[in-house]
Amino acid sequence: MVQTSSVEALVTSGLTRRFGGRTAVNGLSLRVLEGDIYGFLGPNGAGKTTAIRCMLGLIGRDAGTVSIFGESDPVKQRSFVGAMVETPAFHPWMTGRQNLERAVAFAGRGTKDDIDRALQLVGLWGRDAEPVRTYSLGMRQRLGIGRALVGQPKLLILDEPTNGLDPRGMREVRDLLGQLAKDTQLTILISSHLLSEIELLCNRVGIIEKGCMIAEGTVAELVAGKGSVVEVDVSSPEPDRLRASLAGLAGVGVLPAKDEDEHGALRLALDGLTVPELNRHLVQDGVPVSALVPVQHSLEELFLSLTNKELT
């Protein structure tokens, strides 16, 4: 598991960016701690790329602050960060290595050793003398991540790194990110509109919609924070007694039934009430509980319920 320190790698506060009358990023506050693999999740058009461009100083912001390892000065911030925003562009007739050399020369940061190391990290060692036009999309994407790594960043920001790739390319990049998380000390922010892309990789997640942060925390916190759901089964004909008993109880809500069920099972959302407390209350009220089963929420259900969008 990822070890997280309490050092703040990237903090935005009230980040806001408008395009004409449209607010693409709306008072966004997020917090990435050193060592986090942070999933920046939201449906298409939520404002992820715009927020990332603002964080990187690639575009201006209308309001808010960005702090990277405690620095608010954009030049100092840049020295900590490697980034890949949207699909990386390369010179197709130049080799992978030449493209990285160019990037190093352009950025004024990075050495030959850094290039070697980046090529090794992204699995392009041995393919670096071939022109980029012969690379698969997955290889180009990995070269893009390699380019973000050459300056030895402490914070790696990747905007939808698997977007536009075929399943094989997605797999390549996903495996690479898992490896980077395991093998390096990097703090990584990865944006995606696909929950499946980041659910397994990330220790912390921020979910944005319409430019606003709607939930942020560890996967476990987010799932738990939604309120746990339990299924209560009472022997027929007691469901009315169960409902009556629940009516006088705070911190619990009855969820709509999944299907008409004749057994008297109810799905309850607990908000502030624990399962043992619920059980005690029902027993004291003389409700014959035959089963009390916690229902696991997946992050996917949470994401869907928070953003109300189909995952595409």
**Residue 157 binding ligand ADP, by CB under 6 A:** no
Contacts of 30 (CB under 8 A, 6+ apart): 10, 11, 12, 38, 40, 206, 213, 216
**Residue 189 binding ligand ADP, by CB under 6 A:** no
**Residue 77 binding ligand ADP, by CB under 6 A:** no
Q: Tokens at residue 119, please?
A: 């090529």
The residue count of the chain comes to 312
Find the shortest distance in angstroms from Cβ 46 to Mg ion. 8
**Residue 48 binding ligand ADP, by CB under 6 A:** yes
* Integer Cα distance of 85 and 133 in angstroms: 20
Residues between 43 and 62 with contacts to Mg ion, criterion CB under 5 A? 48-49
Q: Which of 102, 74, 109 is nearest to 88 (CA)?
A: 102
Residue among 7, 14, 19, 134 that touches ligand ADP (CB under 6 A): 19
| Sole window of 44-52, 62-70, 102-110, 162-170 interacting with ligand ADP (rule: CB under 6 A) | 44-52
CA distances from 285 to 13, 186, 262 (A): 48, 54, 22
Q: In what order do the strands lie in the sheet with 252-254?
A: 252-254, 266-270, 229-234, 289-295
Q: Which of 8, 5, 26, 6 is nearest to 16 (CA)?
A: 26
**Residue 39 binding ligand ADP, by CB under 6 A:** no
Find the shortest distance in angstroms from Cβ 89 to ligand ADP. 17
**Residue 49 binding ligand ADP, by CB under 6 A:** yes
**Residue 307 binding ligand ADP, by CB under 6 A:** no
* Integer Cα distance of 288 and 72 in angstroms: 61
Residue among 11, 24, 104, 207 that touches ligand ADP (CB under 6 A): 24
Residues that bind ligand ADP (CB under 6 A): 19, 22, 24, 42, 44-50
Q: Which stretches of the chain bind Mg ion, using CB under 5 A?
A: 48-49
